[in-house]
Structure 1
Amino acid sequence: MRGTDKPRSSPLVPDAVVAEIARHDWDSMVCGCGRSAGHLVDTLWNAAEGHPAAYRALNGHAFQAGVLKEPAPAVCGVLMAVWTAGPPRLATREALLWALVALLGSDDDGSAYEAGLYGRCAAFVRRGADSLRREAAARPGSVSAAYVDGVLRLLGLAV
């Protein structure tokens, strides 16, 4: 697996999420903290296993002070793979949605319609917009619904 020195497995992490993590060359990216982004694999693995704090730990790495960093699109790909797999715990879903709002609320030198960091992040999230809407519809007035509304507004997809 790229970005790690050993393959990992967990009954909590679906194969699609493992494949998305493995698809990226984390070691070749410069993290927001200035190191190789290879260390993010552990954080993303923890997020995929359902640890809400792992999503907040992306601050300073995938985004920092409102600016996207090089690993942001790959991180979005993993987050959306986790979302698609359907994290069972409400706290995990809310933390994941928080991370999406934080990522999409950050800036780079591109736009939502270009291949910059933001555009590549937005592309991953747009593909899952329908499942995000279903989450909001299933929990009107909830924290999850508020985060989904934020994500959709940031993408220009809010009704």
Structure 2
Amino acid sequence: MIVDRPESHFIFVVPLDHVEYRYNYINLRGEPLTNKQYLEHWGKWLVFGLREEVEELARKLDPFVEEKKIPAVKYDRKLITEFQLNRCVMCVYCHDETKDEVWEILAALGVKDKAWMYERETLEKWLPGGVNLEKWIQGRGLDHEQAERVRADARAKFTKMFADKNEIFTGVYQ
């Protein structure tokens, strides 16, 4: 199911069960991942393209998400000007044990470039000093005080989110 909430920067492709019944798609063979397992094993294939291209790919991926062959997908609603990219980014999520099967689906749909990233790597990029957070701060033109507040908020958010390594990971509201 394609979920397009105008207030979000992202458009999501998630199983209908997730929307209607709070199904946790962050799992391996039906078993939800703990925070520790999430950081060790959860990741994504990155696909870059024009908005129309990633939108078309999202429509093609939707049936695979409904069949739970692909856990979830998200893509940019528009370019992120702070990062000065000329392409939208699509994230095709899965556990590292299933990434080859997910890649086969992507390749069959015409995706050619391979770029895998673990979520822990993404998290590090959004922590204080991380390349994504610092580019975002710079791109927004924040002054020193505002930037420090953003850094402190990011640190607090992720520290709280992963405080208990054995707790079931339930996602990040975006």
Q: Give TM class, smaller chain.
A: under 0.3
| Structure with a larger share of its residues in strand | 2
Larger radius of gyration: 2
Task: Identify which of structures 1 and 2 has the higher relative contact order when contacts are C-alpha pairs closer than 8 Å and 6+ apart.
Answer: 2
TM-score, normalisation: structure 2 = 0.23
| Structure with a larger share of its residues in helix | 1
